[in-house]
Structure 1
Amino acid sequence: MARADAAARELLTRFGIEQPPVNPVLLAEKLDVLVVHQEMKDDVSGMLLRRDEQRVIGVNENHAPTRQRFTVAHELGHLLLHRGRPLILDTQTRVNLRNTVSSMATDREEIEANRFAAALLAPEAMVRREVRTVHFQAVDDLVEQLATKFEMSQTAMYYRLLNLGIVSDPN
């Protein structure tokens, strides 16, 4: 099991979360992380700031709610898995920024944070359990129903199902 998957599973187990939808903001609060919704450039989804014991996740308030949820989960992944990059202000602060480049997942830490977010919002055991209970005629029906149940975008859910081997790539 990948480190990101294990970290997501451990967090869910730690707080006794067994049913969808997983609330990443509530998990952040339980970890003493402040989540702030604010205006940001459209190509920035969110960021994680760490300074001493203070931890803040900033989320682009103009993005769709499903994207905001994924962003919070993604930033929690950075918090739990990565040190962050230094940003020099008046004092040294570490920051992870989620923008258009990071969402393309070409950087190892971004790939890992995306994997953590997917595993946190749609844990494999929960997804497999729900797949067995959903009545669907086509993959699009399955994706739509599960996206609603897990409060994710249909695109994110499709990729989660693809990565879990539940659906196959039509290409």
Structure 2
Amino acid sequence: MKEAEAGAASTTAVWPVDLSRMRPETAAEWVAARYGNGTMPIRPERIARRMGVEVYAMTAEDRSAVFLGPNGRPWIVVDVTARDDHQRFAIAHGLGHILLRHDRPHLETPASFGADAPDHRDRAANQFAASLLVPTAQLRWCVTSGWMRNVDQILKTLWVPEDLLLLRYRQMRAGR
């Protein structure tokens, strides 16, 4: 982990496609279309690996973070003791930092993942993560297809916590 800490002082790797001028929601939908496989649930760890981002699960003391690894490739580190849905969100959040070109993101705290995160970069990375894990088109299909009869079925299909699903549903209804 010491190598990863040294990478934290470096600038985050610059992704070859500049998504920083896009709204986080639009960037996430672009990434899902380009690097996802079209199935549900979206698997952010697979998308990260397809993009050349290394994903590591470490202990809680290491905390979730984005680093520039010693090999020059970005690393996303998540807490191995966190629930699966939290790990998935942390990976998607880390991808948001990388793809939105957030320079030197800090070590994450629990507040980093909240809707009212104090750092504007975390708020953008959170919106990216929410949009990546619950893309509007898939959510619209889940709600309107008639195949899914209730919230529990949608939650099991998308592998997300209920509060994230409800946030994305409200955003979809508002046209975002």
Q: 2:65 aligns with which of 34, 47, 60?
A: 47
State the distance in 1 between where 2:166 and 2:36 align.
Answer: 26
Given the two structures, how large is their TM-score scaled by the length of structure 1? 0.78
Deviation track 1:79-110 (CA, whole Å, cap 9, x = no partner) reads: 0003322xxxxxxxxx4422112123232111
Which amino acid in structure 2 is aligned with residue 49 of structure 1? F
State the distance in 2 between where 1:135 and 1:145 align.
Answer: 6
CA RMSD of aligned residues (A): 2.2
Which amino acid in structure 2 is aligned with residue 158 of structure 1? L
Runs of 4+, deviation exceeding 3 Å: none
Q: Give the structure with the larger strand fraction.
A: 1
State, as a whole percentage, how many aligned pairs show the same letter: 28
Structure 2 gaps, min length 5? 1-21
Structure 1 residues 16 and 26 mapped into 2: Cα distance closer, same or farther (>3 Å)?
closer
Deviation track 1:7-50 (CA, whole Å, cap 9, x = no partner) reads: 111112222532211110001101111110010249x4x11002
Map 1:16-31 → 2, pairs under 5 A: 17-31=37-51
State the distance in 2 between where 1:63 and 1:34 align.
Answer: 18
State the distance in 1 between where 2:37 and 2:123 align.
Answer: 24
Partner of 2:53: 33
Partner of 1:61: 80
State the distance in 1 between where 2:164 and 2:61 align.
Answer: 22
Given the two structures, how large is their TM-score scaled by the length of structure 2? 0.76
The answer as to whether partners of 1:78 and 1:96 remain within 8 angstroms in 2 is: no
Structure 1 gaps, min length 5? 86-94, 167-171
Structure 1 residues 160 and 41 mapped into 2: Cα distance closer, same or farther (>3 Å)?
farther
Q: 1:156 aligns with which of 151, 155, 164?
A: 164
Say whether 1:73 aligns with 2:85: no
- The number of residues matched between the two structures is 150
Deviation track 1:143-167 (CA, whole Å, cap 9, x = no partner) reads: x22121111112221222122228x
Q: 1:10 aligns with which of 21, 26, 30?
A: 30
The answer as to whether partners of 1:20 and 1:149 remain within 8 angstroms in 2 is: yes
